Amino acid sequence: MEPFKRLDAVALPMPVPNVDTDQIIPARFLRKPRKDGFGQYLFNDLRLDDAGKEKTDFVLNQPAYRGARVIVADKNFACGSSREHAVYALWDWGFRAAIAPSFGDIFYGNSLKNGFLPIVLSAEEVASLMAQIRLRPGAHIVVDLERQEVVGPDGKPHRFEIDPFRRDCLLKGVDELDFTLGFRGEIEAFEKRQEMSWL
């Protein structure tokens, strides 16, 4: 994983509640190889018509939002199935964070394990950010994990909470396995002591 410290990027508004993981990446694409990337299937049925052409009215197809790396979403974003592919699709497209009043529980956990930052803010704060980026397409939002704050286009900071362990892993760019392997020396020393005590 790559470390996540501070992101200053275009934010994409998604003002629809209960966007589920099947909308993020439809089930028929789940058998595709991970190495090929899942970004090409992101929001496939919302983004493309039956002929595979972009729907001009879908927000991700609008020029101002093409380079977006942050999603500002409505409540219960990424609810539904447990597919980790939803995080893969967002990541492979280029997104690194999402801000919403709430997330699907499994998606929230999958995100943190894969270097993607889900940020919970109050409904009022999200509505304010949403209004700003819809009023000014292409506007940036700053996500500062070290300071645990989001700064909207208006310059107002919004503090968010995150589990300290997950925060530390994201800042260092390590997953749970990498974190555990960081203690390899101590683990090997413990195993050697245990082995000696059995002699």
185 located within any domain: no
CB-facing half-sphere around the CA of 167: CA atoms within 13 A:
14
**Model confidence at 111: pLDDT above 70:** yes
For residue 21, pLDDT beyond 80: yes
Question: What is the count of structural domains for the chain?
Answer: 1
Q: What are phi and psi of 157, to 5 degrees?
A: -85, 145
What percentage of the chain reaches a pLDDT higher than 90? 80
**pLDDT mean over 176-190:** 63
Average pLDDT of the chain is 92
State phi, psi for 195 to the nearest 5 degrees: -60, -40
Please check whether residue 191 lies inside any domain of the structure.
Answer: no
Within a domain: 187: no
Q: Is residue 197 included in any domain, yes or no?
A: no
Q: Which of 72, 97, 90, 93 is nearest to 152 (CA)?
A: 72
Checking if the pLDDT of 187 tops 70, the result is no
- Determine, yes or no, domain membership for 188: no
**CATH code: domain of residue 120:** 3.20.19.10
Identify the pLDDT of residue 184. Answer: 66
The whole-number pLDDT of residue 155 equals 97
If one compares 34 and 60, the residue with the highest pLDDT of the two is 60
In-domain check, residue 98: yes
Is residue 199, in this structure, part of any structural domain at all? no
Predicted confidence at residue 35, as pLDDT, reads: 86
What is the domain range of residue 93? 6-174
Enumerate residues 6+ apart whose C-beta is below 8 A from 64: 10, 137, 138
Give the range among 81-90, 174-183, 190-199 with minimum mean pLDDT.
174-183
pLDDT at 121 over 70: yes
pLDDT in tens, 124-136: 999 999 999 999 9
Contacts of 149 (CB under 8 A, 6+ apart): 157, 158, 159, 160
Tell me: pLDDT of 176 over 70.
no
Whether residue 183 is contained in a domain is answered as no
Q: Which pLDDT score, from 0 to 100, does residue 177 have?
A: 63
Q: How confident is the model at residue 32 (pLDDT cuts 50, 70, 90)?
A: confident
